[in-house]
Structures are given as structure tokens and as C-alpha cells.
Amino acid sequence: MTPPVESTRLYVRNLPVYVDNARLRAHFESQGEVTDAAVVFTKTDKKSRRFGFVGYKTSEQARRACAYFHQTYFDSCKINVSFALRKAEESSYGIRPWSKYSKGSSQFEAQHNTNEKKRKLASKNTTGANQTDEFEEFAETMKARSKARFWANDDVQNVQTSIQKKEEDGLEVAETSNSDSSDDTIRHLSDMEYLRFKAAKRAKKQSLKIAEKKSDKSDHPSEPSAEKVLHGIPSENDAAFVSNRLFVRNLPYSAMEEDLRAIFEASKKVTEVHIPLDETKRRKGFGFVLFETASDAQKALVSVDGTAFQGRVLHVTFAEAKPEQAADPTDNSLSYREKKTLEKQANANQPIGWNASHIRSDAAVGTLASRMGIARSDVLSQEHGNMAVRLALCETMLVKENKDFFANHGVDLSAIQGALISTDKSEAKTDILRSTTVILIKNLPHTTEENELCQKFGKFGQILKFLLAPSKTVALIEFVEASEARKAFRSLAYRKYQHVPLYLEWAPLHVFTTKSIESQRTNPGIVEADLMDEQIGEAPCVELRNTLCLKNLSFTTRESTLETYFGRFGKLRKVTIAKTRDKRGGILSMGFGFVEFADENDAQNALSVSEQSSPVIDGHSLSVTLSQKKVERNKTDQDGKSSSKIIIRNVAFEATIRDIRHLCGAFGQLKRVRMPKKFDGRHRGFAFVEYMTEQEAKDAFNSLCKSHLYGRHLVLEWAEEEENSVESLRIKAKRDLMSLSTPQKCVQEEDDFSE
């Protein structure tokens, strides 16, 4: 017989008569974690049938135990161990019952046939006696009146009737005498004694009514137990009950919700799995599985019911529908805001919502104002440039800071973002597996307190990990138990914290990386910095651990400004900004420079602070890395391929080409910016931005892909490079000739691609 592939339950025969469940478990525990051990006894006299079942946590442990214990001695008995089968599988393996206790065996049928014959014989004798009595009564009745003793048949009946009549008369006399005596007594009672007498009489009547109710209740079928009502189990009378929710019992106490989901998802897609916990955080041994439709639940019940799961036989039945929320969004008595809140809470588990890097605009302004020690109105002042661009740059800086913070703590924020933006628009997005214990908390105000927020979630269960970004705009929380995490999610989704609603989202399944960036500081990330040989000479052959490379400097930034900012980290040895000469002989900044520290530890401290929060100097967000020798920089240039041109979609119609230029110019030197226009002069909602180098385009792409401009999320894609083929050059020349021949059309083309 070939054993089942995934069986976790063993069938043990020829056990000693005195072996019980505890002894059987102790004998088989040496080969793995035993989840169930049961010796089978007879129902009547509770004698051992000398066989039992042993369940293991995994099928591998069951295979190892089967090979180890088969044909071995249990005390003085040689046991036989094999894999247990479902009742439906016994016929396929050619197994038939053989014991007198098993239904279907010859001994069982013979024994039950004998009992049936005895029962029929006993009923026949009883019927014969009854028929004899009836015949004698008939014969006595049909006798002649002169021969029959008419007084003999009515003696006992008359005696019983007279006795019953006497008893009734006695009761009536007693009641009458009692009533007469009570009337005589009442006449001589005072007012207080009369009230006590009436109260005692009323209490006696009430006790009689309670006794009648108890007797009536025994005549009616029993009500469903409190456990069935609590657990949502349908009553036994409702045999045709069908729903999209299943009740699973006899679960191992060590079983997790992910394990239960795995066996049910093999047949149909599972919507939710719930295993209740008791007061000691221990699983109760049963659970609920929710499906999308009742047909899916019915198919899953047929396939899973009676199977072995981690050594235990599952019993699956239909459960009552999941209780819905008390308030109905369609209630006309609710206000519009209350209806929308209820709808959001009902759809809180939907994976589509705000992105993981969502930051409130007022939170971004408040965070920046508190750090700089200025008023919030000064941050949004129109005297220092475009307010919308400044707000977008502030949001971009905080998003990068949050991403670096979570990366330092082993959280992959790119996994939270979902599928990356791809140039292939036909590529379908795959479903992201969500965690059942990790929740991402968004839309937080800048005044968030870590202890307050942790206590708000901690009242629902034990918290394993809690991370709040330095900007206090996003947090990540992990619960120990999935049921507690679901309870917190349902209770706090779109609930107000301080003055804003909380946006909750289930984090992806593998959001935590194996190693954090802090553990990998021995090999920090290095970004290239190209320098002119005539300005700084050849790069040294060793890595400069005490020198930082600064990129994306403003052309108006001076060495003194950098000395003031980086001088707070330690003693500086030298500050240099790369410069070049223009055609007129003037000196121009190249947009990057170097800061050399006297101590290597000071340089590492400045680097770590700059990675957590990118410094903003003269309106430019700086990129700070360690300096690298030239040979290694040439190797990194050849690793990746990218374009220097970016397409920005979903641009607000209020935005201008000046806004795009100021926004993108903060991340590198721009070569060209284009916003195609319509015939009425308005732009089409997208723009093209081209940088001088690919590295600057990469930095801008990674920073701006999570930003908002005028409240609209900027969608960035890599633009395709123009092919310099003969055909493309011919088309371009033809377009130029047509523009020269028609001046009006030439103006139209210039408007479409004007900067």
C-alpha cells in the first residue's frame, strides 16, 4: 500500500491493553512534535481495542516516525505502524472492516442480527400477552348475564373511583375549611399583618407559575447552546444551511492562521481566516474561514473535511454569516460625512488606496517649520519663490528621509510601494501578498507623539515592533497575533487621531529585509563624482574615508556656506567647490564639491545624518556620499543603463513650465524642459525633462516619483532616446522644410515645444 504523500497521521496497531493516551504520546514524542495521540476504546465497557492514532506537526516527522517505530516493540508487544487514511480512501486501498466493533464486518453484522432477532422475539411475546388479556376480557364480556358475576369486573374500578372522589372531596372540604378559617382570621388582623399575609400569598402563586414553566420547558426542544450562538455554528435542525463561511474545529493549538489559509487556498481563494484566542493568548482549537461565494465554501468543505492537518482530523461545517457593522451607510438619518466615513471603514481592507509615502501637506510644512525654528507662514511665503514648488520639494525631502529611516531599520519601503513603474504599459500588475500582522500608519500630523500612538494601538494586543519616522508623518507597527492586528485595524481605520483620520494599510508580506543598512555600514553606498583633471587632478588610489562628495550644489553656493553647515560635525581640513571657466574668462561653479574632515569619525557622523535627512542649502537638496577613487567610479558607470530624459505625467493644469523647471532643477543641471501644448495654449498634462547626466536623472526620478505638485501625484517614466537612424533624420528634415514653407505652422510647432 502506498501511503499518502502529505499525511501527518499514523495508525498504530497491536498496542498493549494497558496503554492510554498519555503513554502513547510519550512513546512517540522522540521523533517529532506530537499534536494528537488517541487510543481507541469500546463504547460500552471502555476496554482498549489495542490500536490508536498519532499525529505529528509535519509530514516529514510522520514519515520519520513511521520508519522508526514500524515493527518495533512497545513493551512486550510488536507494534505495526502505517499512515492513517480517510474513510473515503479506504475502499480505494482495498481495506475493509474486520473487527466486531466496526460497522461493515461480518462479526458486527452477525452480532447485530442476533440482537435484532432477540428484540423481535421479545416484542412478539409482549404482543401475545396483550392479545391473551384482550381475548379473556372479550370472553368475559360475551358470557351470559346469568353466568357472569357482574360485580367482579367493577370492584377495583369502583374502589379507585371512590378513593379518588374522597380525595377530591377532601381537598374541596379542606379548601373550604381553609377559606372559612382564613376569613375568620382576616377579620381579626391588623393592617400590617394583612399586608404580610397578601405578600406571602402572592409569592406562593409566583412559585407555582415558575414550577409550571420549568415543567413546560422540559416538553419543548432545547434552545441552541451559548457556545453555538457565540461561535456562529448553525443549529442541528438546520441541515440545509449553506453560507460562504466555514467553521473548522479540532485544530492543533500551535496552528497559525497562515497554515490554515494554505490548506483552504489549495482549492479556492480565501478572503479571511480567523482563529480566536482565549484570555491567556492561547488558541482555542477552532477557527473560521471566509470565502467570496457560498459555492467556493461548499467545494472547500468537501475537499478538506476529514483530512489530516498537522496530525489532527479536521471537522468542517458551515458557519453563520459574518456579523456586519451596526451602522448602515444607507441610513437616511446619517449625515453625508458619516455615510462616507462608514463606507471608508467598510472598504478599509481594499489594497487600493493612498500610496505608502503619502504625507499631508500641512504636516510637511509643520515639520520643516519646527526644524528650522520659523513660523509656518514663513515657509509658504511668496517672497522666496513659488510656494507650490517649495511645498513639493519639502515633501520630496521628507519622503526620502522616511525611506532612509525605514531602510536603516530593515524595512523595504519599495516593497510597500507595490509594483514599480514600468515603461511597458501592457504589463499587468501582480497581486501583492499582504501581511496579517504588520500595519502601515499614514496621514499622521507632525505633532504625533510616539508613546501616545503606541498606546492607542497597544490596547488591542501585544506589539512586537513599532517604528515612527523622524518626520512623524508615517509609522509601522507589528503585532504578535494576527487576530489582534485585525481588531486594531477594524477599530482604528479612518478613526480620528488628534484632528486627522488615520489611513491604515496592510504591509506586504516580506516587508522586513534580512539585514538593515546599519549592519552594512562597512561597505556604504558610493556615488560617482566626475571631476576635471585640470581642476583637481587624478583621483588617489585609496578610498578617502574622511572626505565627503557633495552633489547638486547651487551655482550660488560658496565655500563659506558649506563650512558653516558641516563645521558643526567636527574640525574641517578643507572645503572645495569644483569650478570651471566660461568663454568670457569668468569662473563658474560646476555644481559639486568636497568636504574633507580631520577625523574619519566626524565624516561618518556627517554622512549618517545626511543620509537620514538630506541637507537643503540655498534651495537645493544635496546628495552626500563618500569620495571614491577614479578607477572604481569607471566600473560603476558601466553597471546600469538609464536615460537622461524623463516624462512627467499627471501634471496639474495650474502648473507652468517655470514650476517644472524649478522643481526638477533642484536635483541637477537641466538640459531642456518641454511641455507640449494644445491649440488653445494650455498644456496637455505632461512634460519632458532632460538632464545633463544620467546620474542626475536617476536621482531626480527616485526623489520625485513620490511627490505631489498642486495636489496631484507626479507619475514619472523614462523617455525613449531618439534613434539617429537615416529614416528618423529624413523625417526630421522633412518636418523642418515644411515649417519653413508655412510660417504660421512654424509658430504652432514652436508653441507646442516651447520651453
Residue by residue, what is the 3-state secondary structure of 39-91?
A: EEECCCCCCEEEEEEEEECCHHHHHHHHHHHCCCEECCEECEEEECCCHHHCC
> Do residues 627 and 534 share a domain?
yes
For residues 67, 70, 71, 75, the Cα torsion angle rounded to the nearest 10 degrees is 120
- pLDDT value of residue 144: 65
- pLDDT value of residue 422: 36
Residue where a domain terminates, one of 518, 546, 564: 518
In angstroms, the CA 137 to CA 699 distance is: 113
CB 506 within 8 A of CB 489: yes
- pLDDT value of residue 679: 80
Asked if the structure places residue 536 within a domain, the reply is yes
CB 709 within 8 A of CB 388: yes
Asked if the structure places residue 73 within a domain, the reply is yes
Asked if the structure places residue 102 within a domain, the reply is no
Asked if the structure places residue 131 within a domain, the reply is no
Asked if the structure places residue 100 within a domain, the reply is no
> Do residues 375 and 278 share a domain?
no
CB 297 within 8 A of CB 243: yes
> Do residues 401 and 503 share a domain?
yes
Q: Which domain holds residue 285?
A: 226-318
Residue 603: which CATH number? 3.30.70.330
Residue where a domain terminates, one of 95, 116, 140: 95
In angstroms, the CA 373 to CA 376 distance is: 9
Which helix (H) or strand (E) segment holds residue 744: the answer is helix 743-752
> Do residues 410 and 489 share a domain?
yes
> Do residues 527 and 451 share a domain?
no
User: What sign for the dihedral angle of Cα 103, 107, 109, 112?
Assistant: negative
- pLDDT value of residue 521: 40
Residue 409, all three cell numbers: 531599520
> Do residues 378 and 512 share a domain?
yes
Residue where a domain terminates, one of 609, 637, 665: 637
State whether residue 509 is helix, strand or coil. Answer: coil
Query: Please, which residues bridge with residue 38 across strands?
Result: 53
Residue 701, all three cell numbers: 526620478
Asked if the structure places residue 569 within a domain, the reply is yes
Q: Helices 450-458 and 482-492 meet at what angle, rounded to 10?
A: 110
- Torsions phi, psi of 609, nearest 5? -65, -40
In angstroms, the CA 97 to CA 81 distance is: 18
> Do residues 282 and 196 share a domain?
no
Q: Average pLDDT per run of 10 along the chain, which is 755 residues long?
A: 65 91 91 90 85 90 90 91 76 60 65 63 61 67 62 50 49 46 56 69 62 46 41 50 87 87 81 86 88 87 87 89 65 74 70 64 82 78 75 84 84 60 39 79 89 90 89 89 88 88 84 54 34 37 68 84 85 83 72 85 84 78 74 37 82 89 88 87 88 88 85 86 58 64 41 38
> Do residues 175 and 298 share a domain?
no
What's the DSSP call for residue 234?
P
> Do residues 377 and 509 share a domain?
yes
Q: Which amino acid is at 487?
A: K
Output the pTM of the full model.
0.55
CB 647 within 8 A of CB 716: yes
- pLDDT value of residue 229: 39
Q: Helices 726-741 and 743-752 meet at what angle, rounded to 10?
A: 120
Residue 55: half-sphere exposure toward Cβ, Cα within 13 Å: 20
Q: Which amino acid is at 432?
A: I
> Do residues 387 and 495 share a domain?
yes
Asked if the structure places residue 702 within a domain, the reply is no
Estimate the share of the chain in helix, then strand, then coil, as percent rounded to the nearest 5: 40, 20, 40
Q: Which amino acid is at 471?
A: S
Asked if the structure places residue 588 within a domain, the reply is yes
> Do residues 410 and 375 share a domain?
yes
- pLDDT value of residue 631: 37
Q: How many domains does the chain have?
A: 6
Rounded CA Rg of the chain: 43
Residue 492, all three cell numbers: 482604528
> Do residues 591 and 507 share a domain?
no
- pLDDT value of residue 647: 92
- pLDDT value of residue 271: 84
